[in-house]
Amino acid sequence: GEDVEQSLFLSVREGDSSVINCTYTDSSSTYLYWYKQEPGAGLQLLTYIFSNMDMKQDQRLTVLLNKKDKHLSLRIADTQTGDSAIYFCAETDTGRRALTFGSGTRLQVQP
């Protein structure tokens, strides 16, 4: 079945850039998402990218997709303490109704 992998933890200093990586196995993945979960809260959609795109930028967020390597990354520029959260990568395709999530990467931002 589908599998999505992420590293579990990332620590950066405030003001630096953060890069969170994700790999997936399903070559038919069409839609890829980044969700953010703040402490004690549910998940909220941060951004998404379709498989016919290589890059998407949205303010401080940049998503890069390498379809050949099945690798997705989320770059957060000028990381702030408020960015501390768990970030989940997720994927799906048109044949499925549900998402497959990665294990989540806990981002810790040091002041």
Tell me if 84 contacts another protein by CB under 8 A: no
Nearest approach, Cβ of residue 14 and another protein (Å): 25
Tell me if 103 contacts another protein by CB under 8 A: yes
CA distance linking residue 88 with residue 62, whole number of Å: 15
- Chain-centroid distance, C-alpha 93: 17
Which listed range, 13-21, 54-62, 73-81, 102-110, lies at the site for another protein (CB under 8 A)?
102-110
Residues 22-81 that bind another protein (CB under 8 A): 30-31, 35, 40-45, 48, 50
Return the closest-CA partner of residue 75 out of 99, 110, 46: 46
Instruction: Provide the residue type at 83 as one letter.
Output: D
Tell me if 102 contacts another protein by CB under 8 A: yes
Which chain residues interact with another protein by CB under 8 A?
A: 1, 4, 6, 8, 30-31, 35, 40-45, 48, 50, 88, 92-94, 96-104
